[in-house]
Amino acid sequence: MVAVRRTAQTQTEAYWRRDFKVRPEDIEAVYDRILEDGQPRTLDELAREVMERHCRREAEAREPGEAVPYRPREHYSVGQQLYFPHLGYLSGQVVGVRPGQNPRYGDFTVISVAIEGQEGVREFAADFAPPHILNEYEEATGPQDGQLSPEELYERYGDAVRNALREALEQNSEFVSQDEQWFLRGLLPEVHVGYLNLAEAVIDVAGHPLSAEEILQQLDLAPEARPQARVFALNLALEGDDRFDNVGTPGQPRWFLYNLEPQAVAARPEVLYVQSPARGGEWLHRESLEIAQEIGDELDELPGEQVPVFSPETGRASVVLNFPHRQAGTFPLTREMLALFPSGEYTRIPIHIVDSRTDSRWMGWVLPEERYGWGLGEWYRREEIPAGATVDFLMTRDPYTVAVQCDVRSRRSEWVRVPHVENARLTFEIRKRAYTCRYDRNLLLGEPLEPERLDEVRRQYRRENQSLFQVLLRVFPELAKLGSQGLVHAKALYAAVNVVWRSGAVPIFAELARHACFDPVGDGNWVFDESLTDVVYSTPEEMEARPRSRRVDLIRDRVLCYGSRP
């Protein structure tokens, strides 16, 4: 029978994903490490150390020494040291030898081995003549060519070790975790309700989020305990109390009070409920695509889409304010805007906003996952910023502070479309308004006189389960009435639809492209033919040629697939 050279087990995927078990000695080592350092440890750190320990134990066992590898065919005596490659390189001492009793296999002996770190003894066959797989290889000693380092092994198989270790620690009452940080329960000082009440008062007085370290400066919490134990204990207690909200990251908690957070931070404002985001694959005309890019709605950004890289040299990002954000006192978080703020595992980021003109300062919030920020409602009203205005945001030296401004010019009067409700239907009035900021005339909308009635129309559309096309059929004619030729600019349509239906520009323009009742007539303008509302163009060629059109001024523009690379 030919002997083979066996690869170290800890170098194989099978060992880590199939055979690996968290052993009592692993838990003991984790316990000793945390106890010695007095520092919380991440699951990643602990799992790496466990893997290194297994690799080291195997390497030591494979080196020549007093202990020998277990082979069923060999003869062993009491007192002899063995290690067991097939059991993850456990080692032990032979404490007993007796005859085996199985006529099927002939004469053999049974050895009793006291395994290190385990109670009792385990029995194994020895002097075993029949063929056995454990006799068929020789242990390789010393480093082998191409051997992976513990760090490389962790990159490949660490997920399996992390999961197994997490499960083992969760089942051990001596360990406690907080956001993937593990500590010893016995090292934690008690944080009773009195301390939590004091923490609430500290945050309330500060008026902004605080770290546990900052809160502890005003709490006399177990001054004899190690600083890290005090921080861990307070973070754990705050996490378990429903008065406190972690607005930082799991690794760097910052605590605020839910009852101090604006309603728009706790829940998305109704006017911002998303109904028609861009999904990619929409067909729209080339001119419409250019207009959508000018509008820059955050709902038109696709995952993985290539956008212009934000330039830290300019330190500036600009957004066009639409009606929903103007009404909610919020601002859109485009990719360009997000580059202004710290990145990380944030769900809510408290920030300070500074008025570049007056240097006044107030608190705001950024919600990266929700794609909007809050805190400009009063500034919009004070500075008379309308929907359709361009708002600039500027970086400051503090990553949690942003300056806001709108280009100021002499006050100019303008005839403005103002949303209005008549007979439970969205209409528009033309009123004269004067503004001092920069705005896009086609996107400009005046402040409604009865915003609560618009809210009811918005709810009605949702109750009726309206489609975007049905909303267009209601809104387009109302805009067409405002001009003598029945022309409606694509930007004006986008702005008007968003009064009652939160949508990106791309979905709206895609509906224009595929429905024959709408026709492009140049300069961003469209017209409506009520007799063709049931006709849909199904191919890009039809959307370009528009064969059912009766317009002599029809513009045949190329149709492009949104999200595809040119």
Q: Is the pLDDT of residue 218 over 90?
A: yes
pTM: 0.72
Q: Is the pLDDT of residue 432 over 90?
A: yes
Which three-class secondary structure state does DSSP give residue 507?
helix
Which of the residue ranges 32-36, 179-183, 535-539 has the most confident prediction, judged by mean pLDDT? Answer: 535-539
Residue 157 CA to residue 151 CA, distance in Å, equals 10
Model confidence band, residue 374 (pLDDT cutoffs 50, 70, 90): very high
Structural domains in the chain plus CATH codes: 4-170 (no CATH), 188-260 (1.10.10)
Residue 556 CA to residue 553 CA, distance in Å, equals 10
- Give the chain's radius of gyration (CA, Å): 35
Which pLDDT value is given to residue 146?
60
pLDDT digits (tens, 9 = 90+) for 245-277: 998 877 788 899 999 999 999 899 999 999 999
Which pLDDT value is given to residue 3?
39
Q: Is the pLDDT of residue 14 over 90?
A: no
What residues have CB less than 8 Å from 31, skipping those under 6 apart? 174, 175, 184
Residue 131 CA to residue 100 CA, distance in Å, equals 16
Q: What is the mean pLDDT of residues 342-362?
A: 89
- Out of 101-105, 370-374, 430-434, 453-457, least confident range: 101-105
Residue 438 CA to residue 336 CA, distance in Å, equals 20
Structure token pair of residue 398:
């503090």
Q: Tell me what the pLDDT averaged over the chain comes to.
A: 89
- Out of 85-99, 138-152, 344-358, 443-457, least confident range: 138-152
Which pLDDT value is given to residue 310?
47
Model confidence band, residue 105 (pLDDT cutoffs 50, 70, 90): confident
pLDDT digits (tens, 9 = 90+) for 142-157: 445 467 888 888 899 9
pLDDT digits (tens, 9 = 90+) for 467-509: 999 999 999 999 999 988 999 999 999 999 999 999 999 999 9
Q: What is the mean pLDDT of residues 428-449?
A: 94
Which three-class secondary structure state does DSSP give residue 293?
helix
Beta strands in 384-424 (DSSP E): 390-395, 401-405, 408-422
Which pLDDT value is given to residue 110?
93
Which pLDDT value is given to residue 2?
37
Q: What is the mean pLDDT of residues 337-342?
A: 89
Residue whose entry in the numeric block shows the structure tokens 């728009």: 264
- In DSSP terms, 362 is beta-bridged to 353
